[in-house]
Amino acid sequence: MSRKIIHCDCDCFYAAVEMRDNPSLRGRPLAVGGRADERGVIATCNYEARAFGVRSAMSTAHALRLCPHLLLLPPDFIRYRTASRQILAIYREYTALVEPLSLDEAYLDVTAVDRCRGSATLLAQEIRSRIHDEVGITASAGIAPNKFVAKVASDWRKPNGQFVVPPQEVDRFVAELPVKKIFGVGKVTADHLLQLGVETCGDLRGWSLADLTREFGSFGAKLHRLCRGIDERPVAPDRERKSLSVETTYNRDLPDLQSCLDALPALVEQFSRRMARLHDGETVHKVFVKVRFSDFTRTTVECVNPRPGPETWIKLLTEGYRRRALPVRLLGVGVRFAAPAAPDLQLSLFAGLAPHGDGPP
């Protein structure tokens, strides 16, 4: 039997909570994020700001150049987590199979749910209506037979909309998707695929599993499945997260250690945003830095540290770089969590990080 998966995603969540609590903010370009003078980054913005080209993950300085009258607010994760808990409580009234991805999005498996005559479409409409009425913000939803397609579909009619991809339409729907819609295909991989003549998932289907594996390693097998709309991952409500990391592959190799140190603040900023989006506050046990050099060799340096500051990241990066002292094509930073997880840790967010550790922690 085909599964019925709903992916619910709140619309511009942080900004939506701010506008809910202060209606005078509505209609004005608004963003939540770090200060420009501290190398801050936009966490989210409302649709009025997006009309000027402002986007999440953009540097605050760039956002202010695009929209000089942008209203910038610092994040308030106490209020965001409160709203998130209310939304999760609504989800769990419909199914126990809820897999939170962050504070503002989750998968729901409603295959066996009889409510709303067993219609996933009607269930999504009712859930979204309750979020609006009880929490005071809007959410969009995608409904599909698997997680990959449902997540893509939830973005189709944002804001405050939903899109259904029935089983018989999955093949056609996925074939027309740009390959950048596949999770894990970032700008560098998308550019590489474009150079190979691949723009859509339909184009990618012309590549055999062997060819994709040869070109992209283990990631090639994932590309082979997802470009065909095949995703057998279950909704996992009890999934235990063991680590969290971010990494960037650079269009041009970083030539020396100083260049790597200069690139580090943006990477740590991106990691901090992802850490903040976790629903539960896992306890950090170790921190690590990964370096991949121009000759494709890689090294990982880690240490025990529950609250890493700028000096920790710098020390690990410096040690890792000196192991080969070659130009660097990829940098990554992350943490490994202790077990069992505890909810009392939150890394410092949106703070600046100076290359030599003389900025705020």
Specify the CATH architecture of the domain 176-226. Answer: Orthogonal Bundle (1.10)
Please tell me the class of the 14-73 domain: alpha beta
What is the overall mean pLDDT for the chain?
88
| pLDDT of res. 308 | 84
| pLDDT of res. 37 | 78
Measuring CA to CA, which residue among 247, 240, 217 is closest to residue 339?
240
DSSP string for residues in 102-155: SSSEEEEE-TT--GGGG-HHHHHHHHHHHIIIIISS-EEEEEESSHHHHHHHTT
Sheet with 298-304, side-by-side order of all strands: 243-254, 328-337, 284-293, 298-304
**pLDDT digits 0-9 by tens, 135-146:** 999 999 999 999
Contact (Cβ atoms closer than 8 angstroms) between residue 123 and residue 141: no
- pLDDT reading at 99 higher than 90: yes
Please, which pLDDT band fits residue 346 given cuts at 50, 70 and 90? very low
CB atoms near residue 180 (< 10 Å)? 15
| pLDDT of res. 41 | 80
| pLDDT of res. 172 | 97
| pLDDT of res. 80 | 93
> How far apart are alpha carbons 159 and 11 in whole angstroms?
6
CB atoms near residue 280 (< 10 Å)? 12
> How far apart are alpha carbons 304 and 296 in whole angstroms?
27
> How far apart are alpha carbons 143 and 170 in whole angstroms?
11
Q: According to the annotation, is 344 in a ligand binding site?
A: no
CA angle 290, 41, 153 (to 5 degrees): 85
> How far apart are alpha carbons 148 and 151 in whole angstroms?
5
Bridge partners, 292 (sequence order): 298, 330
| pLDDT of res. 147 | 97
Contact (Cβ atoms closer than 8 angstroms) between residue 177 and residue 201: yes
Of the given ranges (37-41, 58-62, 347-351), which has the lowest mean pLDDT? Answer: 347-351
Q: Which residues are catalytic?
A: 105
Measuring CA to CA, which residue among 281, 265, 270 is closest to residue 346?
281
In the chain, DSSP finds a helix count (H) and a strand count (E) of 13, 12
Domain at 5-13+77-168, CATH homologous superfamily: Reverse transcriptase/Diguanylate cyclase domain (3.30.70.270)
Specify the CATH architecture of the domain 243-337. Answer: 2-Layer Sandwich (3.30)
Instruction: Tell me the domain boundaries of the chain.
Output: 5-13+77-168, 14-73, 176-226, 243-337
Q: Exposure pattern of 248-273 as b/e (b: 16+ CB <10 Å)?
A: bebeebbeeeebbbebbbbbbbbbbb
| pLDDT of res. 344 | 39
Q: Using alpha carbons, list the distances in angstroms from residue 115 to 9, 138, 215, 272.
A: 21, 22, 46, 39
Q: According to the annotation, is 9 in a ligand binding site?
A: yes
| pLDDT of res. 239 | 65
| pLDDT of res. 133 | 98
Contact (Cβ atoms closer than 8 angstroms) between residue 128 and residue 141: yes
**pLDDT digits 0-9 by tens, 63-80:** 999 999 999 999 998 999
Measuring CA to CA, which residue among 287, 290, 195 is closest to residue 249?
290
